[in-house]
Amino acid sequence: MLNKEQPWTGSYWDEFASLPAIVPEGPIAILGLGGGTAAHTMLKALPNLHLQGWEIDETLIDLAREYFGLSDLEKCTSAGGFLSVHIGDALSESVTTGGGFAGIIVDLFSGGEILPQLKKVSTWLDIEKKLISKGRIMVNCGGAYAEIYGSGKQTVNANVLSTGSWIKNSTIKALCQAFPGKLSWKRMEEKDSDNYLALTGPLPDLDAWSAAVPAELSMNVKEWRMCELSS
């Protein structure tokens, strides 16, 4: 998606632009660059960012450069920000930067489904190692299909279930296990789809976060909630 009139898409891509406000200064990785929608939104809203994007499909990058203005993002903005494009597997060991990433955005899908590797705790622990101290990961966890805890030792907090908006999917389950007590979530209710987003680290001060992001996102960030599991 490319909105030429203004940076906001009205979809989950907008939420990624709230991440820089709660991480240290430093480069931010986008794992799953796609056609560059998230990068467009982030650099238009915050033109000082240094983004590094990984995309496995070289043909998609070529098309995005020709038709979606991706090549414009690879040029330095007046504020010093830019996008570095990398062709390759976003989950490989080669996805690194000197000193580590301040933030990592994960938006990895194939055939309309989230990558199966993201349903494994080990994958998230490997991604976490690429962060600097106090860095965070923000994740598009896919649709709100039901995979509720019920047969294992852990169950979803009854108070959360009663809201009708906490439906477990496999990605969030793996994230909860990888980052116990340090995972937040929100649900995007859009016209054409419902997506879960997840955020690692302690729940930010929502009022301070709201004041620090672009005005278009100020109310959005207040919807984040901690993942609460009871034994």
In this prediction the pTM is 0.88
Interval 154-202: pLDDT, tens? 333 333 433 434 446 789 989 999 999 999 999 886 554 578 899 999 9
pLDDT of residue 157: 39
In a 3-state reduction of DSSP, which class is residue 68?
coil
Q: What is the pLDDT of residue 187?
A: 87
Residues 170 and 157: their CA atoms lie apart, in Å, by 17
Chain mean pLDDT for the chain: 87
pLDDT at 20 over 80: yes
Q: 195 near 187, Cβ under 8 Å?
A: yes
The burial class, CB within 10 Å (0-12 / 13-18 / 19+), for 133 is exposed
Q: What is the pLDDT of residue 165?
A: 42
What was the pLDDT predicted at 190?
58
Give me the mean pLDDT over the 226-230 stretch. 73
Segment 120-143 mean pLDDT:
96
CB 99, CB 132: distance < 8 Å: yes
pLDDT given for residue 216 in this prediction: 93
Q: Terminus-to-terminus CA distance in the chain, angstroms? A: 42
Does the structural domain 12-144+183-226 have CATH classification 3.40.50.150? Answer: yes
- Give the rounded percent of residues in the chain with a pLDDT score beyond 70: 85
Confidence of residue 229 (pLDDT cuts 50, 70, 90): low
Residue 104: C-alpha distances to residues 86, 155, 189, 219 (Å)? 15, 29, 23, 22
Q: What is the model's pLDDT at position 151?
A: 33
pLDDT in tens, 31-55: 999 999 999 999 999 999 999 999 9
Span 139-153, average pLDDT: 56
Question: For position 144, what pLDDT does the model report?
Answer: 57
Question: Is residue 70 pLDDT above 80, yes or no?
Answer: yes
Confidence tier at 148 by pLDDT (50, 70, 90): very low
